Structure 1
Amino acid sequence: LSSEKLTTQIVEDGINLMTSDLRKVNIPAMLVEKKPNFVGLRFIGNYSVVTGQLTGAEEPSYETLEILEEAVTPDNSMEALFQDFPRAVRVDRYFMQQDLKNPDNFACYVADPVGYEEARKEIERTGMGLLNEDEWEYCCGSGTRRLFKWGNQLHRSLIQDEANSPLWKENMFGLEIANAEFGPELIEGRPYTKGAWLEENFKAPVLNLLPLSSYYSVNLPLLVDPNGHLAAGYYCARRAIRIEM
């Protein structure tokens, strides 16, 4: 698609190719986790760029604090004075994600890889489970015919006005789902994931934003290492409980 002259037909075909079929299904009543958690990462605490301290799950080593500080703190150059802290950063085995409500704080994780079945069974041991594709799409777009949870329109504010952009906001159900900060979310059964990280693969902006569509569905193989572990921090998972009426 990126090498061809862009036409409305190419865009339409691309959307149809990368979205699920129109269908009508029954969705059960559910309790759904508001925000997904990254898979294959172990939470080690919250890092404050103000104090330079990591507080939370475990006592950090000096080497850990040094790695975290260098990862998020701008250098001493004049240009760095006008730089924002990164939303997310990965260094070695560490992953840090900025708290959007308190940008000076970062949730910190260390790689602790697991496989798909192991991640799914761990959730099931808590009495909950993953959403299937139908349930995930309903939770994302509430069953509407809109391509995205915010509608069918693309505005400059989607990228330029992060404070008000729906790319990082809760949807109509109050869920943080298909947001730019999470990447592919594990679901029950094929296609195994919904959503994806945003990449500029196409000339048409709407195709680049399709991973955040309520109906994005691309059956890609899971990224795993030789031991069958999922790429640490690449995927996320959300817990849910189905309620029988």
Structure 2
Amino acid sequence: MNVTQIYDRKAWNALPHTAAEAILQYLIETKFPEFTIKHFEQFDKFNQRTYTAVLDYQGTEFVFVPGDTVLLGLDQWNMPEENKINMVDMFENNEEEMDNYIRERLSPVRTVTIPPMIVERQVRETGYFPVDIDDERLVSDDYFHKTLKDLKASPREQHTWIVNSSFRLEKNGTDVRAFLYEPASYDELTEQIADSGFRLPTEDEWEYLCGGGSRTLYPWGDGIDYDKKYHHFVAEDDDGKGFYLDTPNHFGIVIANDPYHYEVMMDSEWFIKSGDGGCNLCGGGGWDMGYLSIGTYFRDPFIFDEEMAYKDEITGDYSFVRRLKRVE
């Protein structure tokens, strides 16, 4: 079967749906029998679209993403005036200084060929693993019993409690789940992923998955839309649902939706993307500065800081991974 269209997104999108379905069924049956096709779906967002297959692998959803040759990186943008006014205030109204700040944090413009991939739709956490609520390692912890009591007494239906990163308790109604934390270095984490038959995206692949080659700071444009609902900017009684960036993008994945959530890369100098660990938000940067770090081409300037020692313990509350397999 001729499957050359999977390497060219324009050619892929030009296919009739029946032809795309036949190619995907052939690929899954012959190359990835460990996956099953749940259904076919078209995803439209940010003026881009993809018709693809939603796949299942051991209870986790993946999607097929066609490859392409695209322009990545950014060196110019057109920020809306309202965003500019709010952001430049952080730089004592020095617009040139603000532009330099942004430019220094963007990956360089380059043309890259991206392979077709099967990609995990949601990120997964790192470091924590589920255990029984009466696990000896939990009940022997001095803080466990108090934390469990406080959590059960909380009026909130859903709540998460993390104690010194050693364990985590999650409440959902009357049900409480427990998780223990086990640290891992960058090399250990990426080796675990590779041993499981997957890999993590490179920086080039991540930028493609996030923006699809869009020529703006974010997949949707150059500014934050204050009428939308973003994480960390909601009322205390908010229901925790309906966030603008928590819905699937044009490839059918949820990506770059929270500045506190890093994604770990493989085979790339810049080994974390999609956030700054919430540094700008914690520093009072507001929406524009706080959410700049989820921009498609943003690079955290502090990941090589020796004091931060990210690679020594890459796992934890702020680090997430997205597994994928290249179609070769």
Shorter-chain TM range is: 0.7 to 0.9
With over 3 angstroms needed to count, the CA separation of the structure-2 counterparts of 1:91 and 1:239, relative to structure 1, is same
Residue 27, structure 1, aligned to residue 114, structure 2: yes
Q: Max radius of gyration: which structure?
A: 2
Distance (Å, rounded) in 1 between the aligned partners of 2:286 and 2:210 = 23
Query: 1:170 maps to what in 2?
Result: 248
With over 3 angstroms needed to count, the CA separation of the structure-2 counterparts of 1:30 and 1:12, relative to structure 1, is same
Alignment of 1:107-118 (within 5 A): 108-118=178-188
Deviations 1:71-98 (Å, cap 9, x if unpaired)? 64565xxxxx6x6755x54213113567
Residue 205, structure 1, aligned to residue 287, structure 2: yes
Distance (Å, rounded) in 1 between the aligned partners of 2:124 and 2:290 = 24
Decide whether the 8 Å contact of 2:259 with 2:294 is kept in 1: no
Pick from 114, 117, 132: which aligns with 2:202? 132
With over 3 angstroms needed to count, the CA separation of the structure-2 counterparts of 1:36 and 1:97, relative to structure 1, is farther
With over 3 angstroms needed to count, the CA separation of the structure-2 counterparts of 1:3 and 1:32, relative to structure 1, is closer
Distance (Å, rounded) in 1 between the aligned partners of 2:123 and 2:327 = 20
1:68 Cα offset (Å) = 5.2
TM-score scaled to structure 2, two decimals? 0.57
Residue 123, structure 1, aligned to residue 193, structure 2: yes
More moved, 120-129 vs 169-178: 169-178
Query: 1:233 maps to what in 2?
Result: 317
Query: 2:214 maps to what in 1?
Result: 144
Query: What letter matches 1:191 in structure 2?
Result: W
Unaligned residue ranges in structure 1 (runs of 5+) = 46-53, 76-80
Distance (Å, rounded) in 2 between the aligned partners of 1:33 and 1:125 = 17
1:8 Cα offset (Å) = 3.2
Alignment of 1:60-71 (within 5 A): 60=135, 63=139, 66=145, 69-70=148-149
1:170 Cα offset (Å) = 2.9
Distance (Å, rounded) in 1 between the aligned partners of 2:145 and 2:220 = 40
Distance (Å, rounded) in 1 between the aligned partners of 2:176 and 2:254 = 18
1:103 Cα offset (Å) = 7.6
Distance (Å, rounded) in 1 between the aligned partners of 2:221 and 2:149 = 40
Higher-RCO chain (CA-CA 8 Å, sequence separation at least 6): 1
Query: How many residue pairs are counted as aligned between the two chains?
Result: 221
Query: 1:94 maps to what in 2?
Result: 167
Greater strand fraction, Structure 1 or Structure 2: 2
Distance (Å, rounded) in 2 between the aligned partners of 1:103 and 1:131 = 36
With over 3 angstroms needed to count, the CA separation of the structure-2 counterparts of 1:105 and 1:180, relative to structure 1, is farther
With over 3 angstroms needed to count, the CA separation of the structure-2 counterparts of 1:198 and 1:107, relative to structure 1, is farther
Distance (Å, rounded) in 1 between the aligned partners of 2:204 and 2:211 = 11
Alignment of 1:39-78 (within 5 A): 39-44=126-131, 60=135, 63=139, 66=145, 69-70=148-149, 72-73=151-152
Query: 2:265 maps to what in 1?
Result: 187
Unaligned residue ranges in structure 2 (runs of 5+) = 1-87
1:117 Cα offset (Å) = 0.7
With over 3 angstroms needed to count, the CA separation of the structure-2 counterparts of 1:224 and 1:5, relative to structure 1, is closer
**SS of alignment partner, residue 117 of structure 1:** helix
Pick from 5, 12, 29: which aligns with 2:99? 12
Distance (Å, rounded) in 2 between the aligned partners of 1:193 and 1:210 = 15
1:152 Cα offset (Å) = 2.9
More moved, 175-184 vs 187-196: 175-184
1:118 Cα offset (Å) = 0.9
Aligned residues with identical type, % of pairs: 22
More moved, 228-237 vs 210-219: 228-237
TM-score scaled to structure 1, two decimals? 0.73
1:143 Cα offset (Å) = 1.5
Distance (Å, rounded) in 2 between the aligned partners of 1:163 and 1:235 = 22
